[in-house]
Structure 1
Amino acid sequence: MPPIKTLLFVSAALFANATLAAGTPAAGFVPDAAVQRAATAYAAQAVATARDQFGIKLDGTDASMAQLDAVLARVHIAYASKSPRPSDEQLMAVARMYGSYLGEVVRLKHGGAWGMATREGQTLPGMRTAAGTPFWPWTQAAQRIGKGAGYNVADYYKGLLNT
């Protein structure tokens, strides 16, 4: 198993191609404790950053997805207004943090697991819901930051719960 830093770099490189989406069947999923530990730490960082930088409380509830989307909307505005734009690696650093919060709420409230998920021949950190649906919360957060409101995380979350 490669070290988590390698896995995170791979996820950043894959985001640059914008190929991942929720609900796309995964050829394989393997729970991974290292990914879980990283996601837990990133999620805690998201809670602190949202509070300290934006005055927004992320409390781990289903309702907090609206607050998460509000944070990401503000991050998107900052991202879109920068010239030159932040690199994919910089964007993914923020996306990992907030995407981990999204994934941790799914896992803790509704069941699921972090691990390594394979899609289109590539294996990277992702999740599987308790119902078995694979999804990539880091990618969803990155798309919300980079592409805007069409990638609303509150709507995405609701969709995950209905699968």
Structure 2
Amino acid sequence: MRPIEALLFVSAALSGATALAANKPKPDFVADPAVQRAATAYAAQAVATARDQFGIKLDGTDASMVQLEAVLARAHTSYAAKSPRPSDEQVMAVARMYGSYLGEVYRLKHGGAWGMAPLDGQTLPGMRTTAGTNFWPWTQASQRISKGAGNNVADYYKVLLTK
């Protein structure tokens, strides 16, 4: 199974999703309590891991996105230094944790919901703001780890605050 197929399988299992009939349009967001529960647990794990492994305090504030960026910058440095590179599944395991922290801080401070949303032809775990904007914290964290500083999560979060 290719990495993206494994992610989609896990995402579908998390949401209890069933296939939509071919003639029905796909919604652009479906709130999902199972994704919410998973994100809450992953976010708590992110706080503990940042504290225990990096000595960094993630305190649940908007300002903590700077600390989250520092954690993910270290994760990227580690990723880039390894040969062979960590697998997509290994990157996503870390990205789920820290992306969930990003999403949970946003949800708790500004509202929104976790669920499943289409992105680039796939349906992935994501969030919808109260204004109706979809965003994908797990995907953003994954890109920060694997692609580097051009995917800065503190900057990403600042943009979210303007939507």
TM-score (norm: length of structure 2): 0.84
User: 1:45-103 CA deviation, whole Å, 9 max, x = no partner?
Assistant: 00000000000000000100000000000010001000000000000000000000000
Task: Give the C-alpha shift of residue 153 in structure 1.
Answer: 0.4
Q: What's 1:130 paired with?
A: 130
Task: Give the C-alpha shift of residue 121 in structure 1.
Answer: 4.1
Which residue of 5, 8, 11 maps to 1:10? 8
Alignment of 1:95-106 (within 5 A): 95-106=95-106
Q: What's 2:42 paired with?
A: 42
SS in 2 for 1:84: coil
SS in 2 for 1:131: coil
Aligned residues: 145
Letter aligned with residue 157 of structure 2:
Y
Q: What's 2:93 paired with?
A: 93
Q: Which has the higher contact order (CA 8 A, sep 6+)?
A: 1
Task: Give the C-alpha shift of residue 123 in structure 1.
Answer: 1.7
Q: What's 1:56 paired with?
A: 56
Q: What's 1:143 paired with?
A: 143
CA contact (8 A) 1:12 1:89 kept: no
> How far apart, in 2, do the equivalents of 1:139 and 1:52 lie?
24
Q: 1:11 to 1:45 in 2, by over 3 A?
A: farther
> How far apart, in 1, do the equivalents of 2:95 and 2:10 lie?
9
SS in 2 for 1:100: helix
> How far apart, in 2, do the equivalents of 1:30 and 1:89 lie?
24
Task: Give the C-alpha shift of residue 8 in structure 1.
Answer: 7.2
Letter aligned with residue 61 of structure 2:
T
SS in 2 for 1:28: coil
Letter aligned with residue 154 of structure 1:
A
State the Cα RMSD in Å: 2.0
User: 1:11-32 CA deviation, whole Å, 9 max, x = no partner?
Assistant: 889xxxxxxxxxxxx9511110
Identity of aligned residues (%): 79
Alignment of 1:61-100 (within 5 A): 61-100=61-100
Which of these two proteins has the greater Rg computed from alpha carbons?
2
Letter aligned with residue 97 of structure 1:
M
Task: Give the C-alpha shift of residue 122 in structure 1.
Answer: 2.5
CA contact (8 A) 1:11 1:124 kept: no
